[in-house]
């Protein structure tokens, strides 16, 4: 058995794992070794990071060759098989033994698939996108099931195919937005931008075919802009057919006509070439361990604010973990690229501090839920309790909407801003962030707070 030793071992080539490795290259002693164990030679790194406020940042996610990370980071392409926490080593599927001083598990999550059918696929990593491309190029009808970011991006970006979108809610994109914002987005489904923006990025590919059992890292926020996701039809319906407030009752294979037949909970039947299941993810814990981990209610590895698990010198970050600390008033966990990056960096700081015998405090980014993404061609900024999460309906909402331009929503309790949803180029990101963090009493301003004739960005600067 090949044996390797390192100070820090990070498992996972996604945003959390790479952010952890890169932060360790900065925080840790240069004499300490860092090994990143990834299931693919390609890893996901946050690039073009732009600060929009104290904690709010937007960034791109680029696929890189692991060797490009540089520094004292050594990348090994292999799959974690077992953790021996008492002996401080792990074994891999190829038979390697890696001894560590500190271990950080960033194995991500895997998609929840509806039914066990070869014509149902999930979209989570680069490999699944390639499978999707292959299928869609020869298909005429597709069903997308789910109401989150992947589903929303997919139905907007895809072309040349008849699309049916099955959502369990009364409105689209409910994972991120409210019904008002959903109506704001709706116009874009019938007014799709004809030419997609081309991203001029360095692209990498693996020289050898990987094992089918291996999983790549999760996709970045603009995955759909780097690939062609077009079907073969020249004439398709003007809009996506949305099936509201229904779920899949039955999914069956067919030998004639379309290969898949779906029966919805309202009795409606849809036949299609294949189904994209975008119904969320579950933490990916496919390895074994000599001792049991404490788990969160969602099945993730339970971690404290230092991202430490219940096992000594074992940390976790990103989608695989469950936040087990008492959160700040305006923060909650959501499995997003933003939080994966923040958690990975926090784990690195905590491990480096423990190694050096130093005291640290939780990063300020955990004071405020913050996320920037792109939906239906708009920039979407989510801050704090943007949908009134955890406020028990005891809040008021201020709205400003300009069709085709912007949708602004402020959530207030007793005159103090608790959350904000900013869609479009509003320029209110930093102001909204400050108002949530400072908890300034906005009662004197009333409805004028979102008056388009008042520049609140300058007013509260």
**Got the DSSP string for 118-175?**
TTEEE--BHHHHHHHHHHHTT-SEEEEE--SHHHHHHHHH-BSSEEEEE-SSSSS-TT
pLDDT of residue 190: 67
Q: At what angle do helices 337-356 and 15-27 cross, to 10 degrees?
A: 30
Mean pLDDT of 419-426: 95
Q: Do the Cβ atoms of 29 and 6 come closer than 8 Å?
A: no
**What is the number of H-type helices and E-type strands within the chain?**
7, 29
Cβ contacts of 379 within 8 Å, gap of 6 or more = 58, 372, 373, 422, 423, 424, 425
Q: Is 215 helix (H, G, I), strand (E, B) or coil?
A: coil
Q: At what angle do helices 179-190 and 149-157 cross, to 10 degrees?
A: 20
pLDDT exceeds cutoff 50 at 205: no
pLDDT, tens digit, for every residue of 31-88?
899 999 998 888 888 888 999 888 999 988 888 888 788 778 999 999 999 999 999 9
Least confident of 150-154, 155-159, 231-235, 281-285: 231-235
Q: Are strands 314-316 and 97-99 parallel, antiparallel or unpaired?
A: unpaired
Token pair for 206: 């693996």
Mean confidence (pLDDT) of the chain? 86
Least confident of 16-30, 92-106, 149-163, 377-391: 149-163
Mean pLDDT of 325-333: 96
pLDDT of residue 212: 40
The DSSP letter of residue 67 is G
C-alpha angle with apex 280: 129 to 254, nearest 5 degrees?
65
pLDDT exceeds cutoff 80 at 457: no
pLDDT exceeds cutoff 70 at 191: no
Q: Are strands 269-272 and 260-264 parallel, antiparallel or unpaired?
A: antiparallel
Q: Is 319 helix (H, G, I), strand (E, B) or coil?
A: helix
Mark 183-215 as b/e (b = at least 16 C-beta within 10 Å): ebbbeebeebeeebeeeeeeebeeeeebeeeeb
pLDDT exceeds cutoff 70 at 156: yes
Question: What H or E segment, with its residue span, contains residue 57?
Answer: strand 57-65
Least confident of 105-109, 206-210, 220-224, 260-264: 206-210
More confident residue, 23 or 221: 23
- Write down the residue that tokens 């004439």 correspond to: 235
Closest to 304 in 3D by CA, of 241, 360, 376, 264: 360
- What confidence tier does 301 reach under pLDDT thresholds 50, 70, 90? very high
- What confidence tier does 115 reach under pLDDT thresholds 50, 70, 90? confident
Strand arrangement, sheet containing 141-145: 120-122, 274-277, 141-145, 162-166, 241-243
Mean pLDDT of 323-349: 96
pLDDT of residue 124: 66
pLDDT exceeds cutoff 80 at 157: yes
pLDDT, tens digit, for every residue of 13-41?
999 999 999 999 988 888 899 999 998 88
Mean pLDDT of 233-255: 81
Cβ contacts of 361 within 8 Å, gap of 6 or more = none
Closest to 69 in 3D by CA, of 126, 114, 26, 111: 26
Mean pLDDT of 195-202: 38
Distance CA 97, CA 19 (A): 24
Mean pLDDT of 418-435: 95
Closest to 89 in 3D by CA, of 81, 100, 76: 100
- Write down the residue that tokens 């069956």 correspond to: 252
- Write down the residue that tokens 């959350």 correspond to: 419
Token pair for 93: 């599927």
- How far is residue 301 from each of residues 24, 367, 407, measured CA to CA in Å? 21, 21, 37
Distance CA 339, CA 319 (A): 9
pLDDT exceeds cutoff 70 at 198: no
pLDDT of residue 239: 66
268 C-beta neighbours (distance < 10 Å), count: 13
* Plot region of 160 (φ>0 → left; ψ -120 to 50 → alpha; else → beta): left
Closest to 327 in 3D by CA, of 381, 365, 380: 365
């Amino acid at each position: 058995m090949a044996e390797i030793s390192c100070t820090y071992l990070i498992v996972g080539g996604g945003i959390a794992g790479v952010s952890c490795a890169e932060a360790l290259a900065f925080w840790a002693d240069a004499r300490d070794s860092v090994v990143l164990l990834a299931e693919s030679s390609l890893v996901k790194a946050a690039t073009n990071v732009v600060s929009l406020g104290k904690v709010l940042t937007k960034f791109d996610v680029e696929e890189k060759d692991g060797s490009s990370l540089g520094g004292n980071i050594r990348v090994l392409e292999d799959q974690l098989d077992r953790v021996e926490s008492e002996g401080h080593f792990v074994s891999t599927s190829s038979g390697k033994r890696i001894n560590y001083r500190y271990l950080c598990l960033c194995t991500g999550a895997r998609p929840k698939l509806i039914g066990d059918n070869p014509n149902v696929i999930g979209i989570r990593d680069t490999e699944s996108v390639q499978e999707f491309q292959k299928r869609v190029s020869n298909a005429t009808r597709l069903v997308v099931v789910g109401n989150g970011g992947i589903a929303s991006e997919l139905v907007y970006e895809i072309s040349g195919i008849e699309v049916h979108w099955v959502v369990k809610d009364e409105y689209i994109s409910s994972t991120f937005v409210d019904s008002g914002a959903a109506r704001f987005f709706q116009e874009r489904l019938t007014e799709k931008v004809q030419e997609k923006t081309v991203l001029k990025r360095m692209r990498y590919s693996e020289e050898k075919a990987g094992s089918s059992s291996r999983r790549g890292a999760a996709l970045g926020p603009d995955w759909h802009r780097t690939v062609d996701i077009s079907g073969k039809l020249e004439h398709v319906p003007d809009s996506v057919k949305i099936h509201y407030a229904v779920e899949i009752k039955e999914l069956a294979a067919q030998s004639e006509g379309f290969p898949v037949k779906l029966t919805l909970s309202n009795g409606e039947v849809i036949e299609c070439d294949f189904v994209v299941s975008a119904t969320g993810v579950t933490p990916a814990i496919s390895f074994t361990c000599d001792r049991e981990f404490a788990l969160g209610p969602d099945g993730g590895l339970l971690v404290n604010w230092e991202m430490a698990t219940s096992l000594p010198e074992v940390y976790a970050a990103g989608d695989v973990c469950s936040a087990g600390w008492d959160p700040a008033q305006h923060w909650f966990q959501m499995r997003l690229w933003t939080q994966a990056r923040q958690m990975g960096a926090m784990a690195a700081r905590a491990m480096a501090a423990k190694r050096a015998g130093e005291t640290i405090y939780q990063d300020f980014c955990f004071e405020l839920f913050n996320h920037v993404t792109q939906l239906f061609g708009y920039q979407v900024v989510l801050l704090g309790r943007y949908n009134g999460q955890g406020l028990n309906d005891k809040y008021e909402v201020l709205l400003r909407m300009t069709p085709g331009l912007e949708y602004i929503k402020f959530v207030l309790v007793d005159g103090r801003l608790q959350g904000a949803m900013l869609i479009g180029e509003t320029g209110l990101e930093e102001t909204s962030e400050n108002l949530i963090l400072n908890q300034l009493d906005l009662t004197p301003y009333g409805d004028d707070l979102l008056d388009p004739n008042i520049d609140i960005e300058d007013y509260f600067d």
